Amino acid sequence: MATIIDGRALAATIKKELKVEVAALREKVGRVPTLAVVLVGDDPASQIYVRNKEKTCEEVGIASIGIRKPASTSQEELEEIVKNLNEQEDVDGILVQLPLPRHLNAQRIINLINPSKDVDGFHPVNMGKVVLGLFDEGLMPCTPYGVMKIFEAYGIELQGKNAVMVGHSNIVGKPLANMMINKNATVSVCHVYTRDLKSYTLNADILCVATGVPHLIKADMVKEGAVVIDIGISRVNGKIVGDVDFDNVKEKVQAITPVPGGVGPMTIAMLMYNTVKAFKLREGL
């Protein structure tokens, strides 16, 4: 019987610990960590994600500043918003929800965020720290960081294992592949141009999938006894599904994350963790 990894429970534990820490920081410093969340446009999924992030801030005791701008916002206006947030002493974390409307250049916006306030961990400086394995001094991207926390909490050893990352996005695939390399796994990165994907996935002791293609990974593509981490989320006929055919794959693996309730809740927990970390680094704590 496969272990069904409970990301909700693990995230709840992390949030509970952070809540205690934030209360202590409030006493010590006289203010609480503060996260600015910028949402441009009215993408329905982004609206839900942003609302969840703000709700979780409240749960943990982190202050949040919501900045909503219309889809017509210009590159210059958005850059001005980021620059102002960089300068505000009482803002510890800045998050610009992605994707941005097509006329905006997201990388140029990310590059402008002060790396010490970049709680998404998307700035090139923080990405560089991911590659170098400098966990302590940087802010790590939340989703891959959440996956690494799952490995840690469930005693899943990476050293010497064959790890396969399906998906090579800047947000998940590239940083997670690097984090697994830093734990001495042998990592293959597959993506939409990979020929014979199955020949790679069948060899995976650890299989991480982040493509956004519903049920891409079928049972015959997975090695017996593997650990499967599903980082995809799609809506199919009104139902939320992952990139893995969970019902069939779970029969042959050692452990698997469900969707929803697997990696998703960990992303938000790690965003809270990063906001508290940014606060502490900025306060010299």
The residues carrying an active-site annotation are 53, 97, 120
Using the contact rule CB under 6 A, the part of the chain among 91-99, 156-164, 191-199, 210-218 near ligand GUN is 91-99
Check if the beta carbon of residue 209 is closer than 8 Å to that of residue 216. Answer: yes
* Residue of 142, 209, 226, 229 that binds ligand GUN (CB under 6 A): 142
Cβ distance 209 to 188 under 8 Å? no
Does residue 120 belong to the site contacting ligand GUN (CB under 6 A)?
yes
Residue 64 vs 267, nearer CB to ligand GUN: 267
CA distance 230 to 211: 9
47 vs 254 by CB, closer to ligand GUN:
47
- Degrees to nearest 5, angle at CA 74 with 93 and 121: 25
Q: Is 66 helix (H, G, I), strand (E, B) or coil?
A: strand
Q: Which residues, at least 6 apart from 41, have a Cβ–Cβ distance to it below 8 Å? A: 69, 70, 71, 73, 100, 101
CB of 251 to ligand GUN, least distance (A): 30
Does position 126 interact with ligand GUN (CB under 6 A)? The reply is no
Residues 167-196 that bind ligand GUN (CB under 6 A): 171
Q: Which residue is nearest to ligand GUN (CB)?
A: 98
Quick check: 88 and 76 in contact, CB under 8 A? no
Please identify, using beta-carbon distances, which residue of 28 and 51 lies nearer to ligand GUN.
Answer: 51
The reply on whether position 104 binds ligand GUN by CB under 6 A is: no
Dihedral class, residue 94 (left if φ above 0, else alpha if ψ from -120 to 50, else beta): beta
**From candidates 34, 56, 97, 274, binder to ligand GUN by CB under 6 A:** 97
Return the residues of window 255-274 that contact ligand GUN according to CB under 6 A.
Answer: 267
| Shortest distance in whole angstroms from residue 61 CB to ligand GUN | 21
Which range touches ligand GUN (CB under 6 A), out of 95-103, 147-155, 188-196, 225-233? 95-103
Helix 263-282 × helix 7-29 angle, to 10°:
20
Report 29-88 residues binding ligand GUN (CB under 6 A). Answer: none
Q: How many binding residues for ligand GUN (CB under 6 A)?
A: 9
Distance between CA 60 and CA 157 in Å, rounded?
A: 30
What CA–CA distance (Å, rounded) separates 1 from 185?
Answer: 25
d(Cα 222, Cα 40) in Å, to the nearest integer?
39
CB of 246 to ligand GUN, least distance (A): 21
Neighbours of 155 (CB within 10 A): 7
- State in angstroms the smallest separation of the CB of 85 from ligand GUN: 14
Assess 118 for contact with ligand GUN (CB under 6 A).
no
Residues that bind ligand GUN (CB under 6 A): 95-98, 120, 142-143, 171, 267
